Structure 1
Amino acid sequence: MKKIVVLLTLFIAFSGWSQSEADFFKKANAFFETYVNNGKVAYAKLHKDSKDLDDVLSLAKSISTSKDKADSYQAFWINSYNLSVIKGIIDNYPTNSPLDNAGFFEKTKYDLGGNKITLNEIEHKLLRAQFEDPRFHFVLVCGAIGCPPLINKAYLPETLDEQLETQTKIALNSTFLKVDNKKKRVAVSQIMEWYKEDFRMNGTTEIDFINKYRTDKIPNNFKVRYFPYNWKVNEQ
């Protein structure tokens, strides 16, 4: 935590952050450290007392971000998405799955960055539509076990690229893939089916994308299949 505080202090001075942005990233980092463990969220604890969550989301209301400062912009919206998913689960707690709550992703609006905005709008309009980066799919956590694991720290502008790389590597070397060498096929998360265009940019294949991050490479002649998404809530 001390290291994070020092980094935040330095970047306020040298990267043009506003004090409100610095406060947001600091509180977001403290929140994730407190309530996330091994990719799971302490929803029951937060349901009893949501003050820490409410405080960090309150900071996010008036923060103005610009695509011109891409790292700050992306880090803000990634954290805001993950925090808002947790808020959505808490508001409907107890719940077995985010999908059990009508409009969870496409209708419920959150007050963020000076706008009333849905989770889908953050993901598809503010991030995917603005930046061609498939790695977003490994850091935006939709509140379910089938999602990539939620980390217990905030995404920060100065470490964002490294964090995106790390989480993509973790996913593609573990639960997002099931390799069957005998049948020459690989089963991958449905995320890669739903967003095929993101993983086939610039003429690459899904296997090309996987092999960029995977230690044990997948042969190019393997068939790609998709396994069902686990929508059970990612609760501790």
Structure 2
Amino acid sequence: MKALSILVLLFLPLISFEHGSDVVLDDQKIDFNALSEQFLTNIKEGKDTQDLQNVLANASLEELESGLETNDQKTAFWLNIYNAYIQVILAKNPELYEDRSSFFKREQINIAGKMFSFADIEHGMVRKSQWEYGLGYIRKWFPGKYERTLRVEKRDYRIHFALNCGAKDCPPVAIYEADRLDEQLAKGTKRFLTKTSEFDSVKREAAVTSLFSWFRGDFGGKGGTKDILKKNGIIKSTEGVDLVYKNYDWTLYLDNFIEL
């Protein structure tokens, strides 16, 4: 704790927070949500992020646990961290994207002294310990201590329209705030589905993003997917509607930011 406090005091003059929160509260406690928001803000504005990365790396598991108390705080934090490191790592080494399978499984993100992969964050933290290849129907049997401690408490299908994996067909990057999370996820979901979905009223056929196929259990299967499309105004009725999954454009596409 003393080492981290010294580190924060050293870096604090170099870190400006523009979302109404400071990185340190009550002299010691780090506001990890504010830090994650500033991480993305710095990227968006072309500013350096190394000091913020250092604070994240040198924090302790206990500090993260106490700083991320609610489900919304955890969800917003991990969405921002995932999206931020996609931008940082691929902007510096775009060639890593040529082998995407290896890229997403590579442990390259230091959070509280533990190296995470993008797959660890997506499937472990944000999807609440889902097995990567289980289509959303099978959970991991033995998640580790960090994952059990820091993962979200409730799976929310809308995170799939918030995580940006660096590809052209990925959802754009927004800066998620814990106290506005539900509103932001609702807006982001509607925006993404409206942009990517097509409905042929003659064929009664909805062409939708492949995300609905890859994580079908998260969405409640085909029935759940149709309900989501109806809720977001893509279709007026779920009766007799067939689903067609579009091909996914994996072309590298960074700096795709939006405001929600």
**TM-score, with length taken from structure 1:** 0.76
- The equivalent residue for 1:123 is 122
- The equivalent residue for 2:134 is none
Moved more, 220-229 or 60-69: 60-69
The runs of 4+ residues in structure 1 deviating greater than 4 Å are none
- In 2, Cα distance between equivalents of 1:75 and 1:62: 20
- The equivalent residue for 2:200 is 180
* Residue correspondence of structure 1 range 31-42 to structure 2 within 5 A: 31-35=42-46
Larger Rg: 2
Distance 1:134 1:113, change over 3 A: farther
Q: Secondary structure at the match of 1:105?
A: helix
Give the C-alpha shift of residue 102 in structure 1.
5.6
Distance 1:26 1:88, change over 3 A: closer
* Percent identity over paired residues: 26
Contact 2:168 2:252 in 1 (8 A): yes
Give the C-alpha shift of residue 220 in structure 1.
2.8
Contact 2:229 2:235 in 1 (8 A): no
RMSD: 3.0
- The equivalent residue for 1:168 is 189
* Residue correspondence of structure 1 range 1-236 to structure 2 within 5 A: 5-6=19-20, 8=21, 18-21=29-32, 24-25=35-36, 27-35=38-46, 52-63=48-59, 64-66=63-65, 68-93=69-94, 95=95, 98-100=97-99, 103-129=102-128, 130=152, 131-151=154-174, 154-175=175-196, 177-200=197-220, 204-214=223-233, 217-235=236-254
Letter paired with 2:211: I
**TM-score, with length taken from structure 2:** 0.70
Structure 2 segments unaligned to the other structure (5+ residues) = 1-16, 129-151, 256-260
- The equivalent residue for 1:46 is none
Distance 1:132 1:90, change over 3 A: same
Letter paired with 1:156: E
Q: Secondary structure at the match of 2:199?
A: strand
Aligned residue pairs, count: 209
Contact 2:40 2:80 in 1 (8 A): no
- In 1, Cα distance between equivalents of 2:192 and 2:159: 12
Structure 1 segments unaligned to the other structure (5+ residues) = 36-50
Distance 1:65 1:105, change over 3 A: same
Give the C-alpha shift of residue 135 in structure 1.
0.7
Letter paired with 1:117: F
Distance 1:206 1:99, change over 3 A: farther
Structure number with greater CO (CA < 8 Å, separation at least 6) is: 1
